[in-house]
Structure 1
Amino acid sequence: MDSVRLAIVYYSTYGTNYAMAKAAQEAAEKMGAQVRLLKVAETAPEQVVANTPAWKAQADKTADMPVASAEDMQWANAYLFSAPTRFGVMASQMRAFIDTLGGIWAKGELANKAASAMSSAQNMHGGQEATLLSMYATFMHWGSIIVPPGYTDPVIFASGGNPYGASATANGEPLSDALKDSIRHQTQRLVTYAAKIAS
């Protein structure tokens, strides 16, 4: 699987999607994939972040994390995006990053690469599926090869039954073992198909 170069691109306000991205990184590296774990740039005003203790704590915790760039997207031959739901769509920070990729998209440099996505929301029906579908719509425009988990393993049902991608209820608790298993399965499936495409 060392032919797979996976960019795990995430945005995380309070830490849920960061934890999900870390779980995916561990699974991909265990398979032998090359992995870049990357956050997208914060676009919220510094004062807003500073005045929200949990948000600031997460920002401080990941201050040294590399920020995703177009170069990372060119390097990768597989993508796993993870972003929280905001009013039924992906957080604006992730959208802002995607909107910087027009130049390499126009050159076809995002096409023919395996891609998958994960999300979270404050409650079980807070828009995770709509958020995942909006990310997949973007991947379709890129010409990426979408690799959802589907119902390809019993862990999908154990973690909530979302065939579009792993999704968390962001309640401040650590990720459940069932969700970690779901993330692991989704990542393994993505890496497996990315290797097939790369061969």
Structure 2
Amino acid sequence: MSVTGSNGATRVAVVYYSATGNVHKLASAAADAAEKAGAETRLRRVPDYVGESPAPEFTEWNRAWEEHREAVKDVPTAGVDDLGWADAILFGGPGRFGLVAAPLKHFVELAWPLNTRDGLVNKVMSSFTSTGAPHGGQESTILSLNNVFYHWGAIIVPPGITDEIQRAPSNGNPYGVSSVSGRQAVPGRLAENVTDDNLAAIGHQVRRMIEVATALRRGFGEDLPR
């Protein structure tokens, strides 16, 4: 079964959850880089599955959460069909105590039926995150997503230290691009701590995914086994 785009391009889905905009900014940069690389691209957000902020007692964070939710309301929401459609999938979400944020984990669980049909086998996957502090669980958050990819039979493509941009002071995580959002979200100043180097690094990560996915498609004769 061919999984290439209508124009023969590699299909890339950027699937992310963002609470106050940091991951959204990285995901948008990844989607832009994928399109510039010639991929057929879908940017898809995972929404909160609750109707109110998970932290209403933190006034400024709660206002920032509401501001971000309003700002991204027109971004299409992710569906499991986006995973089945793609050749390469980039997942992103904030770290929560070193784990994947609950909305993204919930979305991953919705892919169970697709996984049982081997619908995710041999797809190229990678992940990225943002945390409040440099040692706020960035690597464990990414590796928890990678554990899911192992179960799916996916092919994991990390950024590694494969480009000079990874050596920039605000980068360096070889498992996946990681930004430091800061400990406090400020309304009117969302995602301001995502650096230009972070954005350049996520562009490198998604281009690397596309290169591998395209090579695999050619190696499989454009037809990935199911």
Distance 1:23 1:47, change over 3 A: closer
| Residue of 149, 165, 175 corresponding to 2:176 | 165
Q: Give the Cα separation in 2 of the matches to 1:103 and 1:57.
A: 34
Question: Of the candidates 1, 17, 27, which is equivalent to residue 23 of structure 2?
Answer: 17
Contact 1:5/1:77 (<8 A) preserved:
yes
Asked if 1:197 corresponds to 2:216, the answer is: yes
Q: CA contact under 8 A between 1:41 and 1:97: conserved in structure 2?
A: no
Instruction: Give the secondary structure class of the aligned counterpart of 2:143.
Output: helix
2:100 to 90, 100, 114: 90
CA distance in 2, matches of 1:136, 1:48: 26
Match of 1:144 in 2: 154
Q: Distance in 2 between matches of 1:42 and 1:131?
A: 18
Q: Does residue 64 of structure 1 match 2:74?
A: yes
**Aligned partner of 1:119: which letter?**
T
Root-mean-square deviation (Å): 1.6
Greater displacement, 173-182 / 143-152: 173-182
Q: How far is 1:41 from its partner?
A: 2.4
Per-residue CA distance 1:81-111 (angstroms, 9 max, x = gap): 0100001111000000000011010000011
Number of residues of Structure 1 aligned to a counterpart in Structure 2:
199
Q: Structure 1 residue 161: deviation in Å?
A: 1.2
Classify the secondary structure of the residue corresponding to 1:46: coil
TM-score by length of 1: 0.95
1:151 Cα deviation from its structure 2 partner: 1.1
Q: Is the 8 A contact 2:53 2:65 kept in 1?
A: no
TM-score (normalised: structure 2):
0.84
- State the identity %: 39
1:178 to partner: Cα distance: 1.3
1:177 to 196, 203, 207: 196
CA distance in 1 between counterparts of 2:206 and 2:68 reads 24
Query: 2-side partners of 1:49 and 1:193: how far apart?
Result: 40
Unaligned runs of 5+ in 1: none
Q: Which runs of 4+ in 1 moved over 4 A?
A: 47-51
The letter for the 1-side match of 2:112 is: G
- 2:145 maps to what in 1? 135
